[in-house]
């Protein structure tokens, strides 16, 4: 019997986000007869307990691995990851998110891991950063790219940007979509009146919602300002923001400042996302940058039309005027106008929701896992043949005994 291949996934923080949920699903659904999954995360997150409860998955935490750039802590994290990987001796290291992507790949290199993979769920460098910071981050990505065996991007937009910036050649990056359990969302039924009451909302009022971590990337204050603009024209409408994070206090302050008391509900983290989506008339996402928002897929599978921002891979799933509308990041008035249009034309909203439900198989989470398994097997087979090549030096990585 063939010994299962040890695959170590590394991610910075297990918060309630798309990359994190997809990583948990992947490690818990890999074929145990072929792969032995290990999950390594950094600073404490909302999903840590869920990770510890996964059957058949070894879970390790490296607390010094944190999202913020802190040179001394980052050095400690690099050392800790290297020591851990040397002890575990995986055949494959697969990293997710920017900080884990840099430090995890470097640690894998130092530990002698023969196959190093990175998934791009959106890049850590953005147009909103100081130019010097952005240049440094791009330079780091280029450096670790030299010993990265393979890249997976969740969107064609991210793949194209990586090629344009010289992070990798076209033949080293494959698009593997960030999937969701489409059938589970399509099958979800909920008593919407009861669910709205549970959330502290009037069941008879239209409901606009956003689901996202409360961090700068998601621009949650833009959602609050959108709510205020919509409320001026449609005071009957209610708003719900599902999520938590560093900007919670700012969101609460802005909602109070704009006079949205009794109109705006901030729920914190919730695990009943599929049920909440069924209560929405329109789903909104105000992100400034993304890879491909997984929550878009969840909303579409739930028959909810979308008003969002035209970032990265958004246009690869949102078809303008067909299953939603896209505006430029920061265009709060434009998004509010589109929300008001859908509220004024419920027949259009219903038609968009019905159209959005028909997502192709590439967005299904089980298809995502199968694609990754096929990639792993191909890379391991190449390794056995001695054909896994370091891009930096051109030498073949020797097969592990």
pLDDT, tens only, 333-379: 999 999 999 999 999 999 999 987 788 889 999 999 999 999 999 99
- Residue 16 in domain: yes
Walk across the sheet containing 150-153 and list its strands.
58-61, 35-41, 5-11, 92-96, 115-120, 150-153, 173-175
- Residue 170 in domain: yes
Statement to judge: residues 189 and 331 lie in one domain = yes
Say what the pLDDT of residue 392 is.
38
Residue 279 sits in a domain whose CATH number is: 3.40.50.2000
- Over residues 10-18, the mean pLDDT reads 89
Residues in CB range of 328: below 8 A, 6 or more apart:
309, 310, 334
Statement to judge: residues 319 and 187 lie in one domain = yes
Dihedral pair phi/psi, residue 155, rounded to 5°: -140, 155
β-sheet bridge partners, residue 396 = 389
pLDDT at position 397 over 90: no
- Residue 399 in domain: no
Name the one residue in this structure whose structure tokens are 């970032």. 311
- Is the Cβ–Cβ distance between 66 and 12 less than 8 Å? yes
Statement to judge: residues 124 and 194 lie in one domain = no
- Residue 389 in domain: no
Say what the pLDDT of residue 388 is.
58
CA 280 to chain CA centroid, Å, is 21
Statement to judge: residues 189 and 231 lie in one domain = yes
By the 10 Å C-beta count (0-12 exposed, 13-18 middle, 19+ buried), 366 is classed as: middle
d(CA 296, CA 324): 10
- Is the Cβ–Cβ distance between 306 and 299 less than 8 Å? yes
23's tokens: 């990583």
pLDDT confidence bin for 390, thresholds 50/70/90: very low
By the 10 Å C-beta count (0-12 exposed, 13-18 middle, 19+ buried), 393 is classed as: exposed
The parent domain of residue 313 ranges over 182-360
pLDDT confidence bin for 191, thresholds 50/70/90: very high
Name the one residue in this structure whose structure tokens are 């509308």. 325
| Whole-prediction pTM | 0.88
pLDDT at position 399 over 90: no
40's tokens: 């390594």
Tens digit of each residue's pLDDT (9 = 90 or more) over 110-169: 999 999 999 999 888 888 889 999 999 999 999 999 999 999 999 999 999 999 999 999
Statement to judge: residues 140 and 220 lie in one domain = no
- Residue 390 in domain: no
Say what the pLDDT of residue 261 is.
87
d(CA 86, CA 65): 17
Beta strands 324-327 and 92-96, pairing class:
unpaired
Say what the pLDDT of residue 394 is.
37
Statement to judge: residues 103 and 239 lie in one domain = no
Beta strands 5-11 and 92-96, pairing class:
parallel
- Residue 131 in domain: yes
Statement to judge: residues 334 and 251 lie in one domain = yes
Question: Which range, of 108-117, 229-238, 388-397, averages the lowest pLDDT?
Answer: 388-397
d(CA 183, CA 185): 5
Say what the pLDDT of residue 393 is.
37
Percentage of residues of the chain with pLDDT beyond 70: 96
Residues in CB range of 84: below 8 A, 6 or more apart:
40, 60, 62, 107
Number of Cα atoms under 13 Å in the Cβ half of residue 357: 16
pLDDT at position 36 over 70: yes
Statement to judge: residues 158 and 63 lie in one domain = yes
Helices 220-233 and 332-344: crossing angle, nearest 10°?
A: 50
Tens digit of each residue's pLDDT (9 = 90 or more) over 234-284: 999 999 999 999 999 999 999 999 999 889 999 999 989 999 999 999 999
Statement to judge: residues 141 and 30 lie in one domain = yes
- Residue 394 in domain: no
d(CA 201, CA 55): 38
46's tokens: 């909302």
Statement to judge: residues 20 and 154 lie in one domain = yes
- Over residues 321-336, the mean pLDDT reads 96
pLDDT at position 401 over 50: no
Say what the pLDDT of residue 398 is.
42
- Residue 251 in domain: yes
pLDDT at position 1 over 80: no
- Over residues 100-109, the mean pLDDT reads 97
Statement to judge: residues 21 and 127 lie in one domain = yes
Beta strands 150-153 and 115-120, pairing class:
parallel
Say what the pLDDT of residue 387 is.
63
Residue 277 host element (H or E): helix 273-277
The domain boundary residue, chosen from 344, 360, 376: 360
d(CA 339, CA 273): 21
- C-alpha distances (whole Å) from 123 to each of 17, 22, 101, 157, 311 are 15, 17, 10, 11, 12
d(CA 221, CA 250): 8
Rounded to 5°, the CA angle 60-64-68 comes to 125
For 202: left if phi > 0, alpha if psi spans -120 to 50, otherwise beta; the answer is: beta
Percentage of residues of the chain with pLDDT beyond 90: 82
Statement to judge: residues 134 and 192 lie in one domain = no
Report how many domains make up the chain.
2
Tens digit of each residue's pLDDT (9 = 90 or more) over 24-34: 999 999 999 99
């Amino acid at each position: 019997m063939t010994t299962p291949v040890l695959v170590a996934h590394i991610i910075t923080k297990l918060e309630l986000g798309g990359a994190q949920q997809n990583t948990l699903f992947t490690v818990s659904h890999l074929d145990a007869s072929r792969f032995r999954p290990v999950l390594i995360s950094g600073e404490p997150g909302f999903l840590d307990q869920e990770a510890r409860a996964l059957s058949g998955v070894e879970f390790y935490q490296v607390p010094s691995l944190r999202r913020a750039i802190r040179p001394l802590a980052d050095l400690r994290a690099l050392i800790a990851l290297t020591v851990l990987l040397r002890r575990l001796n995986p055949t494959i290291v697969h990293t997710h998110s920017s900080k884990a992507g840099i430090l995890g790949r470097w640690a894998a290199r130092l530990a002698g891991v023969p196959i190093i993979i990175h998934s791009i769920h959106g890049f850590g460098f953005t147009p909103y950063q100081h130019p010097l910071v952005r240049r440094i981050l791009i330079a780091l990505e280029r450096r670790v790219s030299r010993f990265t065996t393979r890249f997976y991007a969740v969107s064609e937009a991210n793949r194209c940007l990586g090629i344009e910036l010289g992070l990798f050649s076209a033949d080293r990056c494959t698009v593997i979509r960030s999937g969701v359990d489409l059938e589970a969302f399509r099958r979800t039924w909920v008593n919407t009146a009861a669910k709205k009451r549970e959330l502290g909302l009037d069941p008879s009022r239209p409901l606009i919602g956003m689901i996202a971590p409360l961090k700068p990337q998601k621009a949650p204050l833009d959602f609050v300002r959108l709510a205020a603009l919509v409320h001026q024209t449609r005071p009957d409408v209610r708003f719900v923001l599902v999520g938590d994070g560093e900007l919670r206090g700012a969101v609460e302050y802005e909602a109070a400042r704009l006079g949205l008391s009794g109109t705006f509900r901030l729920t914190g983290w919730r695990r009943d996302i599929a049920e909440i989506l069924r209560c929405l008339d329109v789903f909104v996402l105000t992100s400034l940058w993304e890879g491909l928002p997984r929550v878009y897929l969840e909303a579409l599978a739930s028959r909810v039309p979308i008003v969002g921002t035209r970032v990265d891979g958004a246009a690869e799933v949102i078809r303008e005027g067909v299953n939603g509308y896209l505006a430029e990041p920061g265009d709060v008035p434009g998004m509010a106008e589109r929300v008001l249009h859908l509220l004024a034309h419920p027949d259009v909203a219903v038609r968009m929701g019905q159209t959005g439900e028909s997502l192709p198989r590439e967005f299904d989470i089980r298809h995502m896992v199968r694609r990754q398994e096929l990639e792993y097997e191909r890379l391991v087979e190449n390794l056995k043949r001695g054909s896994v090549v370091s891009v930096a030096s051109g030498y073949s990585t020797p097969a592990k005994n």
